[in-house]
């Protein structure tokens, strides 16, 4: 029953299509295989020469994301009874925590696809994920001890294999790519959000100009008119006091 509900290939392909990088990945595979871009390619070959490694890492992370989504679907409420019957304990999370995790991932993915991805289209950019290596806490603490205790720990720690332990982290970067064709093909909420972005680009300069002029007018009223009015009041009081003194 669980096997009928799951199809990892369809999930991975769906993730690629929803990300809008289907043509980008296909062009990358063609460039890696034949060493050049196609005749009627949507992207120039210079993009893959300069950012080919980042695009390939993003492709691998997308595949891993599809596999992770299949894993979450496998241990979800619908298929968990079948997994329990097999005697496989694949996850220590409770059912509530698992459903909460799935809902958070789905909500974050929806917001990213309908807001951040549209902004990237307007800015003619692709947001890709790359892998970065960061030293672990043990490695960083060992480096701090090396600075304190001198050359002896430095020589001994350089020989140990634990000194090179690192952890991988995912980082989002943006690469410049012309995406006018994809922007014209937007529909539904993504099209409405793109219209809002256009209205904002047009209206924000007028709003800033209006706020600037309004602030200048308010400052003129406060400094000029009210200041003069206070000066007249003070001078009138002084004249009255002088007349009373005489």
Q: How many domains in the chain?
A: 2
Same domain, 191 and 153: no
Query: How many Å apart are CA 14 and CA 11, to the nearest integer?
Result: 5
pLDDT in tens, 28-41: 888 888 877 777 77
Among 7-16, 78-87, 141-150, the range with the most confident prediction by mean pLDDT is: 7-16
Same domain, 30 and 71: yes
pLDDT tier at 162 (50, 70, 90 boundaries)?
A: very low
Same domain, 125 and 162: yes
Domain span at 207: 186-246
Same domain, 9 and 75: yes
- What's the rounded mean pLDDT across residues 194-198? 88
Retrieve residue 172's tokens.
């989002």
**pLDDT (0 to 100) of residue 144:** 56
Retrieve residue 181's tokens.
């064709």
Asked if residue 116 has pLDDT above 50, the reply is: yes
**pLDDT (0 to 100) of residue 160:** 47
- What's the rounded mean pLDDT across residues 33-52? 81
């Amino acid at each position: 029953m669980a096997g009928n509900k799951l199809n990892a290939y369809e999930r991975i392909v769906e993730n690629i299509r929803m990300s809008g990088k289907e043509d980008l990945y296909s062009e990358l595979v063609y460039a890696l295989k034949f060493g050049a871009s196609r005749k009627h390619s949507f992207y120039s070959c210079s993009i893959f020469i300069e950012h080919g490694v980042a695009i390939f890492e993003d492709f691998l992370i997308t595949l891993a994301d599809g596999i992770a989504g299949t894993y979450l679907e496998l241990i979800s409420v619908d298929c968990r009874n079948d997994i329990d019957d097999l005697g496989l304990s694949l996850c220590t999370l409770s059912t509530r925590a698992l459903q909460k995790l799935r809902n958070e991932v789905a909500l974050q993915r929806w917001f990213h696809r309908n807001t951040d991805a549209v902004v990237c289209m307007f800015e003619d950019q692709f947001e890709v994920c790359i892998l970065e290596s960061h030293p672990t806490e043990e490695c960083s603490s060992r480096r701090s001890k090396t600075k304190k205790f001198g050359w002896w720990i430095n020589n001994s720690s350089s020989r140990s294999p634990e000194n090179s332990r690192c952890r991988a982290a995912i980082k989002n970067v943006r690469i410049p790519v012309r995406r006018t064709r994809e922007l014209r093909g937007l529909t539904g909420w993504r099209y409405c959000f793109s219209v809002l972005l256009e209205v904002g680009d047009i209206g924000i300069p007028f709003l800033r100009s209006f706020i600037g002029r309004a602030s200048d007018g308010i400052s003129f009223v406060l400094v000029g008119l009210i200041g003069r009015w206070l000066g007249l009041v003070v001078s009138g009081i002084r004249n009255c006091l002088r007349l009373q003194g005489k």
